[in-house]
Structure 1
């Protein structure tokens, strides 16, 4: 760092210990690209503004996602199957775009700039969605007109794109505010993740209660406008804190490192292995095709040193092993796809099931989407119970510091997803029996245990997979590992959409109403839930087999 004449007298009077304590030692810089000062940057003063932006994004995301199936069926007059499929596809896109955001943040823009740009895209999407929801009241057009449908989906997918730059960057930028080389700040970083997860769940809780009620009882336009205004204020607060943030300097994108191995392996085919042990990673014999990426090809030697050492023609053995680590985690990742397909029912078929039930609870009328609140409450209760009760008990039984291993924790979550689907099937079978016997409708609160069980499953499986990918990913690819975990949610949502389409096509042949018709009393939604329960059990068996075979990364 270049020192100005004004700074020299101050630095001259500082001892080496004072200089060390004045600046962060993990390489972070301030907004002027100078070493970040501990007293004036980072820590909780910065995190509160970052958490504020994340909170407003979560309010907007859940305000749309929790009640979207109701909006599509009631306002756009989509069928139950089409609405459920479209909701799953949209949610899948919301968890697919973080790969784009993470790549841009790590390679070109940095986390702060990426968040600002994608927040603006998000707000534009919310504005279009708000206007489209209010369109029948602004101009005389049918509620399900083509122009309204186009504007709704344009707004939805701009929101999906916007969330892609926020989800992977806010947690990482928040973690950057604590000096990883300082023992005190490093310990405090764990508290930030607790508050980060807490803000996400509070946003979900408020959206599932207050905003869903506003949408149902006041109007969809107001229900979308409120979180849009909150996001605008969140953006203003976030930008106002730019001078106190700590910033990580850009390095080589992990996606680029992976792509280099694949391209070099395809290009290279001879056998002069370029050994490298600087990364400390032991050579493995799995996926040996990619070892060709660490081969020096004679033709590149003849073209000169620049060609021979191009990272797109020659990678280190450590770099090859990093890709192999990611590939070894693929079977575990695949098991999570079906888990998230099961939990996707909370924003699709379970909402449709609730709409066919008696939603009066005492003097209140409960919107079907509000039942997802029990998922959030379950998560918020299970996390402290897991830490305070289950971990000590499991630690005594297993002798492991964490109590359950990450794979064991994921396995419990997969089992709970099967239980949740089986319970939903039993409730639907009972609801159908009452409806066909012309008896009073089943009360919507019978759905609460299904949401609670699936929420408990998320505490085990969702958090477990994040820990698993963080620990098992190579040191230089932690962010890619987290993005990989997010991709499982996207894949699960897309799988749910495909399964719903297949079920509708197969069961509605020959004029039959099918399992999920417009009037659920004419169908068999319980058969669909039983099918998901059976698939979840099969998935659990496959996961158990993979867990036994999994050996983890070798360092």
Structure 2
């Protein structure tokens, strides 16, 4: 009778919370936060150069650091949500923090004494920003970065949590990606255009409005959401495996099932294994029963499933590193494209001028279009011709090739642009379009596929933070790009503050070499990688995935 009552309560709770009624609240929140984020970050380099008199390469470095932090912090937000507070409170607090930060940026753009005086026309001497001005700027950036990190990826898991069936969760993710790209395109075009052609005050003010609407709408739907319960840090079990294996490092490994510890609940999961695998055998000792072990001492005795989960994470590390070196060239290209556009002819007709910070919208639109085309035409046609589907790692491999091609085209275009500078002729900014289009197509292949790999292959206890870990990879790549630019600037003369006197084409050639080397490394990693969970999905993918 008690079980019946609890079942009735659960059904009653589920009927009143979650489901498709929450979709408009989630999507409006995501749309507003995306417009806000892309509205300030895509034109940050131009803002630093024009409003704070910061040198171009230094502005690029600051922008890369900002992008790196934005992509690194989501994993912290995910841990806080999973371990302590839950998704909904973290999103609410983060949206408010972002609103505070973007309001402060608007204040900076509105009050002259919060910025250095503009450079005089024709003068090479410009007033540097004071420590106070830089302090307020960095405080504003810290707030909007924190707010963005706590919403963008957490909204994905919070939205998916509103649905019980995997099919419904899949439909939500489709809406999520379309809305994310829609917000990115709006912020990169409309907001950046307002900043460049009207005023920074108006541009940032529009971001404030978008952020405020997001915050109000999300809070208004709070009573409708299915609230997740914090279950403690999912990373604790990973640490316990390493500690337990180290404590029993002298124990002799057994080949009998009964010598290893299992938990009853794990036997019902689809990933249950009776014996630990032979790879990373040192870790098997964590689940080995020895004298003095107690089921209550979780730091000395782990289950076989926990050991295998830890191994699953370790197996993904090589692929993880290959994604970093795939994203680093893209981060450099994103920064260099803005600098190139600033010294090119951006006029399209007599009355319209393209904003330098808006050039990245080409890659966004291209990526959005080809995500649709891939799912509707490319992948089905491939499966019809080859009689088996493209595996996630094969899709990532295609993304690698297209990224290398994009860098090569950028090198050729920049070499041609430098020749036009010698003739005192400005090259049209449209020459940057082909490389950006190919960049977007490559992202349409590798970005969703990488998320599928991390989400599908990570242990179930870590799936809520799998997408945020993908973001961490992107964040590290921005730091790698910053380090690469710094090394090139210190050792060569390719990156002066005026790139018309530099050799950005050589920088792109270096990125091509890095890309080719990384692609070779990725092929080796994909050859040796065995799928853990994805081979059991509806697509019946091969356990051994060779990208060629």
Question: One fold, TM greater than 0.5?
Answer: yes
Name the counterpart of 2:22. 46
Name the counterpart of 2:112. 136
The match for 2:340 among 353, 357, 368 is 353
What aligned pairs does 1:461-500 form with structure 2 within 5 A after superposition? 461-500=446-485
Does the CA-based 8 Å contact 1:94-1:161 persist in structure 2? yes
The match for 2:285 among 266, 270, 292 is 292
Residues 1:388 and 1:139: Cα distance change in structure 2 (over 3 Å):
closer
Q: Distance in 2 between matches of 1:211 and 1:134?
A: 16
| 1:393 aligned onto 2:393 | no
Deviation at 1:270, TM superposition (A): 4.0
Name the counterpart of 2:32. 56
Residues 1:139 and 1:87: Cα distance change in structure 2 (over 3 Å):
closer
Residues 1:540 and 1:176: Cα distance change in structure 2 (over 3 Å):
same
Does the CA-based 8 Å contact 1:398-1:404 persist in structure 2? no
Name the counterpart of 2:121. none
Q: Deviations over 1:274-314 (max 9, x none)?
A: 3327351352222223223224454x55xxx4xx6322222
The match for 2:500 among 515, 521, 531 is 521
The match for 1:540 among 515, 519, 524 is 519
Deviation at 1:159, TM superposition (A): 1.7
What aligned pairs does 1:167-186 form with structure 2 within 5 A after superposition? 167-180=152-165, 186=166
- Of 207-216 and 340-349, deviating more is 340-349
The match for 2:241 among 255, 261, 281 is 261
Name the counterpart of 1:28. none
Residues 1:240 and 1:473: Cα distance change in structure 2 (over 3 Å):
same
Name the counterpart of 2:226. 246
Residues 1:524 and 1:195: Cα distance change in structure 2 (over 3 Å):
same
Deviation at 1:140, TM superposition (A): 8.3
Residues 1:296 and 1:125: Cα distance change in structure 2 (over 3 Å):
farther
What aligned pairs does 1:95-244 form with structure 2 within 5 A after superposition? 95-136=71-112, 144-180=129-165, 186-244=166-224
Q: Distance in 1 between matches of 2:195 and 2:44?
A: 10
Q: Distance in 2 between matches of 1:261 and 1:163?
A: 33
Q: Distance in 2 between matches of 1:140 and 1:409?
A: 48
Does the CA-based 8 Å contact 1:80-1:516 persist in structure 2? no
Q: Distance in 2 between matches of 1:474 and 1:355?
A: 46
Unmatched 5+ residue regions in structure 1?
25-34, 181-185, 508-513
TM-score (norm 2): 0.88
Q: Distance in 1 between matches of 2:331 and 2:472?
A: 14
Deviation at 1:501, TM superposition (A): 0.6
Q: Distance in 2 between matches of 1:154 and 1:353?
A: 29
| 1:320 aligned onto 2:312 | no
Deviation at 1:444, TM superposition (A): 0.3
Q: Distance in 2 between matches of 1:171 and 1:140?
A: 40
Q: Distance in 1 between matches of 2:31 and 2:77?
A: 18
Q: Distance in 1 between matches of 2:245 and 2:466?
A: 22
Q: Deviations over 1:251-284 (max 9, x none)?
A: 2432222222223333333427533273513522
Deviation at 1:156, TM superposition (A): 1.1
Q: Deviations over 1:10-44 (max 9, x none)?
A: x8xxxx9xx77x955xxxxxxxxxx6232x33222
Does the CA-based 8 Å contact 1:69-1:347 persist in structure 2? no
What aligned pairs does 1:365-376 form with structure 2 within 5 A after superposition? 365-376=353-364
Residues 1:144 and 1:219: Cα distance change in structure 2 (over 3 Å):
farther
Does the CA-based 8 Å contact 2:162-2:226 persist in structure 1? yes
Residues 1:236 and 1:254: Cα distance change in structure 2 (over 3 Å):
same
Name the counterpart of 1:27. none
User: For the aligned residues, what is the CA RMSD?
Assistant: 2.4
The match for 2:404 among 418, 421, 436 is 418
Name the counterpart of 2:428. 443
Q: Distance in 2 between matches of 1:503 and 1:104?
A: 38
Deviation at 1:124, TM superposition (A): 1.8
Q: Distance in 2 between matches of 1:78 and 1:159?
A: 20
Residues 1:473 and 1:387: Cα distance change in structure 2 (over 3 Å):
same
Name the counterpart of 2:124. none
TM-score (norm 1): 0.87
Q: Distance in 1 between matches of 2:161 and 2:46?
A: 39
Q: Deviations over 1:229-257 (max 9, x none)?
A: 22122111111111111122232432222
Deviation at 1:399, TM superposition (A): 2.3
- Of 212-221 and 199-208, deviating more is 212-221
Name the counterpart of 2:46. 70
Name the counterpart of 1:37. 14
Residues 1:356 and 1:411: Cα distance change in structure 2 (over 3 Å):
same
Q: Distance in 2 between matches of 1:550 and 1:444?
A: 42
Residues 1:49 and 1:68: Cα distance change in structure 2 (over 3 Å):
same
Does the CA-based 8 Å contact 2:53-2:116 persist in structure 1? no
Unmatched 5+ residue regions in structure 2?
118-126, 253-258, 537-548
Structure 2 SS opposite 1:36: helix
Does the CA-based 8 Å contact 1:133-1:152 persist in structure 2? no
Q: Distance in 1 between matches of 2:146 and 2:251?
A: 44
Does the CA-based 8 Å contact 1:81-1:501 persist in structure 2? no
